[in-house]
């Protein structure tokens, strides 16, 4: 059973390679491979969801652990729990959508395109499963390269600058994360005399206040760049706007979630005390993100750019919810990630369909689409409503839970966060108005409305959004154990001390290192 866990990473990777090879002969065959791999991965997560229940003492539904670099105490360690399950399921679903949506728009190098897409999905699944911090970091970085190529090769007009900006921002954050991981690992080896990159080990130590604060900030910076939180969000709008459809879907649906996932999986369990101390700042950043993203979205004329800014706004709720540090808000944050994956994916798909049909994404040149494409209009209306948090749809559940949880901690921040709901109604309605209503400004093409495939994709997303909105309990149940454990850990005292007062930094660790390796001198 456990070995199938690696299939969550291996399946997209193998599919990508097969698709790359197959594209030499038949493009259709390449798409078939890619689709089979992503759909297979999605079904595999569903299978895990239906068949597995946690077995007593271990929190993991499934676990894989091999020695990888024994010299440095690094393991190939994957584990699946409720949270990872939700995230990998999103990966599979977004993967299927991305493959299907690419068929019409990608003209060159299709095989390599599919390989990049599926390669990034494999790396993202790795992020959601890795339990060894070194392994996590490898996947964290690995995700960037195929995405960089996706934007660089198949992107829109300003793809060069956008791809470079995306990579440099996220890589800068990533290297801070590396520094944080190394610092943490050294602190651990100082405390225990041996070296480890395992999450389970690293979360047992209590850090000296100063060390802990800096390390936590390094982790936070990396995750905040991906999320993105407000001062470090500059890469997002360009990358989303310039990426091809699969790039936009993966960025909005998965990459941003990796930031939120990292906060919940790593930052909170490893730095409970430091996170609690930092929470007010982080929550303020979250609220700033909500309002700033919404205001910026209101001012955009490029449809994709507008949707990108709504992502910043929605991810603000995730940041807010995570750092409220109670179960309700954390559950809300997880729900927000699911809901946003569905709504942003749908909106990006629609933007792509409009761009493909009319050759523009500029709101000022669009208009009156509802008359000529009623089905598209309906779908867009639905997801605009989902995005602005209409009760009964997924976004509402998430925002409600987050705000409820935050209300317990800070009334002011909850109130400010709730203001985001108003602004989001404004920008969503503006979008609807400019795209769907008014006179039609662009020449209509023969088939403007959604094709059968597109209807199917939209219908699936609508069903998920409705399901979460009306009956969120199955989703909440899936992630409840994980969230509860993380929240409870906040109160568990740490036994191991890392540093005594007045200890000169860096003098003990090397000896510990030399003795830690497999080869003894």
Partner 1 sequence: MRDIDILSLLPFVLVAITAVAAMLVAAFTRREGPVFGVTATGLLLAFVSMAFVPAQTAPVDTLLTIDGYARFFMGLFLLATLMVVAISYGRVGSPDSTCGEYYVLLTLAALGAMTLAASDHFASFALGLELLSVSLFALIAYRRSRESALEAGVKYLVLSGVSSSVLLFGMALVYAQTGTLRLSGLGAAASGTMGGALMAAGLAGIVVGTGFKLSLVPFHLWAPDVYQGASSPVAGFVSTVSKGAVFVVLLRTVRIIGAESASALPTVIAVLAIASMFAGNLLALRQDNLRRLLAYSSITHMGYLLVMLRVPDMLGVEAASYYLVSYYFATLAAFGTLTALSGEDSVLDCLADVQGLAYRRPGLCAVFAVALLSLAGLPLTAGFIGKFYLVLAGWSAGLHALVILLIVNSVIGLAYYLRVIGLLFQEPNVRRETVTQALPLSWALSSVLVLLTAGTLLVGLFPDPLLSLTRLFRP
**Which residues lie near partner 1 (CB under 8 A)?**
68-72, 108-109, 112, 134, 137-138, 141-142, 144-145, 148-149, 152-153, 160, 163-164, 167-168, 171-172, 175-176, 178-179, 182-183, 185-186, 505-507, 509-511, 513-514, 517-519, 521
Structure tokens at 339: 């809901």
**Which one, 177 or 303, has the nearer CB to partner 1?**
177
- Token representation of residue 43: 């079904």
DSSP secondary structure letters along 374-394:
HHHHHHHHHHHHHHHT-TTSH
Query: Is the bond into 374 cis (omega within 30 degrees of 0)?
Result: no
Q: Which tokens in the block code for residue 423?
A: 């602004």
Please report, for the chain, how many H helices and E strands are present, in that order. Answer: 23, 4
Quick one: 150 or 380, whose CB is closer to partner 1?
150
**How far apart (Å, rounded) are the C-alpha atoms in residues 307 and 297?**
7
Cα dihedral value 169, 173, 178, 183, nearest 10: 150
Q: Which two tokens stand for residue 440?
A: 């039609």
Q: How far is the CB of 172 from partner 1 (least distance, A)?
A: 5
- Least Cβ distance, residue 444 to partner 1 (angstroms): 32
CB of residue 10 vs partner 1: minimum separation in angstroms?
14
Where are any strands of DSSP class E within 423-493? none
**Chain centroid offset of residue 33 CA:** 25
Between 166 and 383, name the residue whose CB sits nearer to partner 1: 166
Q: Decide whether 116 or 457 has the Cβ nearer to partner 1.
A: 116
User: What's the min distance (Å) between Cβ of 13 and partner 1?
Assistant: 12
Least distance to partner 1 from the beta carbon of 478, Å? 30
Distance in Å, CB of 173 to partner 1, minimum = 10
Kind plus residue range of the DSSP H or E element containing 67: strand 62-69
- Contact (Cβ atoms closer than 8 angstroms) between residue 280 and residue 292: no
The minimum distance between CB 171 and partner 1, in angstroms, equals 6
Q: Which is nearer to partner 1, 45 or 211 (CB)?
A: 211
Which of residues 187 and 284 has its CB atom nearest to partner 1 in the complex?
Answer: 187
Contact 273, 205 (CB under 8 A): no
Distance, CA of 345 to chain centre: 12
CA dist 368 and 284 (Å) reads: 39
Q: Which is nearer to partner 1, 22 or 39 (CB)?
A: 22
Which CB atom, from 81 or from 201, has the smaller least distance to partner 1? 201
Quote the CA–CA distance of 190 and 188 in Å, as a whole number. Answer: 5
Min. distance of Cβ 140 from partner 1 in angstroms? 9
Angle at Cα 244 formed by Cα 386 and Cα 125, nearest 5°?
A: 70
């Amino acid at each position: 059973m456990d070995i199938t866990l690696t299939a969550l990473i291996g399946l997209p990777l193998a599919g990508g390679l097969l698709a790359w090879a197959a594209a030499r002969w038949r493009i259709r065959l390449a798409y078939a491979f890619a689709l089979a791999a992503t759909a297979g991965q999605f079904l595999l997560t569903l299978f895990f969801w239906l068949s597995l229940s946690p077995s007593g003492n271990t929190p993991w539904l499934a676990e894989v652990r091999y020695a990888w670099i024994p010299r440095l105490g690094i393991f190939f360690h994957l584990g699946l729990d409720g949270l990872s399950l939700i995230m990998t399921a999103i990966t599979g679903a977004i993967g299927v959508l991305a493959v299907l949506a690419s068929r019409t728009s990608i003209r060159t190098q299709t095989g390599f395109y599919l390989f990049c897409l599926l390669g990034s999905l494999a790396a993202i699944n790795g992020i959601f499963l890795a339990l060894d911090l070194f392994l996590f970091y490898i996947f964290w970085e690995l995700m960037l390269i195929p995405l960089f190529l996706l934007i660089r090769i198949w992107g829109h007009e300003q793809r060069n600058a956008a791809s470079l900006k995306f990579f440099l921002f996220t890589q800068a954050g990533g290297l801070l994360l590396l520094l944080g991981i190394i610092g943490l690992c050294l602190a651990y080896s100082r405390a225990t005399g041996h070296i480890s990159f395992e999450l389970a080990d690293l979360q047992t130590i209590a850090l000296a206040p100063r060390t802990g604060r800096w390390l936590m900030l390094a982790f936070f910076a990396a995750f905040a760049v991906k999320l993105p939180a407000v001062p470090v969000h500059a890469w997002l709008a360009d990358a989303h706007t310039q990426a091809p459809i699969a790039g936009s879907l993966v960025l909005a649906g998965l990459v941003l979630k990796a930031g939120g996932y990292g906060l919940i999986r790593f930052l909170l369990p490893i730095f409970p005390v430091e996170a609690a101390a930092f929470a007010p700042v982080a929550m303020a950043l979250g609220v700033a993100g909500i309002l700033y993203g919404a205001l910026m979205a209101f001012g955009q004329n490029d449809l994709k750019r507008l949707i990108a800014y709504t992502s910043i706004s929605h991810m603000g709720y995730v940041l807010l919810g995570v750092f409220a540090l109670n179960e309700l808000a954390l559950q809300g944050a997880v729900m927000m990630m699911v809901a946003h994956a569905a709504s942003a994916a749908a909106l990006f798909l629609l933007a792509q369909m409009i761009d493909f049909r009319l050759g523009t994404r500029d709101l000022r040149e669009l208009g009156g689409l509802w008359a000529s494409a009623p089905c598209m209009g309906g779908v867009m209306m639905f997801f605009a409503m989902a995005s602005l948090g209409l009760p009964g749809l997924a976004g509402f559940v998430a925002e409600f839970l987050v705000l409820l949880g935050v209300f317990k901690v800070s009334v002011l921040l909850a109130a400010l966060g709730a203001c985001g709901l108003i602004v989001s109604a404004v920008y969503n309605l503006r979008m609807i108005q400019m795209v769907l209503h008014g006179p039609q400004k662009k020449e209509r093409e023969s088939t403007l409305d959604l094709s059968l495939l597109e209807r199917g994709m939209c219908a699936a997303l609508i069903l998920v959004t409705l399901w979460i909105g009306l009956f969120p309990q199955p989703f909440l149940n899936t992630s409840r154990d994980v969230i509860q454990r993380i929240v409870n850990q906040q109160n568990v005292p740490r036994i191991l001390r890392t540093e005594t007062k007045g200890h000169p930094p860096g003098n003990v660790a090397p000896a510990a290192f030399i003795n830690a390796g497999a080869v003894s001198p």
